Chains A and B, each alone.
Chain A
Amino acid sequence: MRFSEATGRKVVSTADASTVGTISGFVVDPATKKVVAVALGKTSGQGTMLPFGSIAAFGTDAVTVASADAVVAPDDRLTELSAKQHTILKKRALTTAGDEVGTVRDVEFDPTDGSLVSIQLDDHTWNGQGLVGAGSYAVMLRP
């Protein structure tokens, strides 16, 4: 599934069938090459982060969670990874060999475990497991 498709999707609690928020972004950890959490907007409480492990199902129409308690306030690690300088979308992409290969337009991930499948650049795609790091200057990709 692509980030662009999943953004805006509702997150629903299976305990009381209430909407707990909508997906507003994705938190990617380059170390594990996985989506580690989903950032939520329009939440009722203080929490804004849904750790990927708390997701019951990533369905085509909605994301389900066991209860609204799954939505938490970001811990230090999530705060750092979700900071603007570590996001992936719309960043320049550089290979570790030092060549610019375009701008990151979209990311495809596996909805079952959050692992990155591919990274969509301007005119071609890159293996998602080639992600090395994401900083304020560029997203680094292994050739």
Chain B
Amino acid sequence: MSTLLRASELVKMPVVTHGGEDVAQIKDIVYAAHGGHVEAFTLAGRGLFAGPLKTALPWARVAGLGKSAVVIESEDDLVPLEEALAATAQDGPGRGDVLNSQVLTDQGTALGTVSDVVIGILGDPASSQADVVGYEILPAETMNRGKQRLLIPLPDTIAASGEHLMVPASASNYLTDDLAQFGSAVDAFRAQLGGRV
């Protein structure tokens, strides 16, 4: 079973135990420093006046992740926030804040701006990674694609600053040279994502 989710769909999702209690909700996603995968989730309390929690949920403790909730076995799976953040060395090119970054190829062509991160989970969450498999971008005007959001499948680790996201020029080949193939890749992504355009 493989699941593709937008990062924005994860935020505010309830964290539910096997006992059926909602103990928290997802506040933000902590990406691993170098690899393109999810390391942990920071949490906020449930309810109107609840603020951020001092606990976090490491990816390794996630028992299930679906369209409606993140499932854990019990509240004991939550760890202190510092512990979860310490696991990700915050040096080197981070991926922390890629939203609204401009996507540039290493040849210097702007493809658009990042509007969402696509996370893919292959197999059982308990034994797999949550990889960053691509980005949803708002295409640059020069792309002549109008306002329709595109999904770029990105299998490899790439460099990111708060400003720019560098992708291999081959990514733009997807966009320019091989429209049919890219189109079907996007279609396949969209079909799996449930068709939000």
Residues of chain A having any CB pair with chain B under 8 Å: 30, 85, 91, 94-100, 132-140
Contact = CB atoms under 8 A, between A and B. Distances in A.
Contacts of A133: 17-20
B65 A97 contact: yes
Interface string B10-21: 000010111111
Contacts of A99: 66-69
Contacts of B69: 94, 98-100, 138
Contact of B64 (A97, A137, A138): A97
B111 interface: no
A135 B17 contact: yes
Contacts of B20: 91, 94, 132-140
A96 B22 contact: no
Contacts of B21: 85, 135-137
**Interface size, B (range):** 10 to 19
B166 to A, nearest CB: 33
5 contacts: A91-B20, A94-B71, A96-B64, A136-B22, A138-B69
B152 interface: no
Nearest to A88: B20
Interface of B: 1, 14, 16-22, 63-71
A100 B71 contact: no
A82 B70 CA distance: 26
Contacts of B22: 135-138
B14 A140 contact: no
A29 B16 CA distance: 19
B19 A94 contact: no
A140 B16 contact: yes
B126 to A, nearest CB: 10
Nearest to A132: B18
Contacts of B68: 94, 98-100
The 5 closest A-B pairs by CB, nearest first: A135-B20, A98-B66, A99-B66, A137-B22, A135-B21
A140 B21 CA distance: 9
A34 to B, nearest CB: 17
A132 B72 CA distance: 12
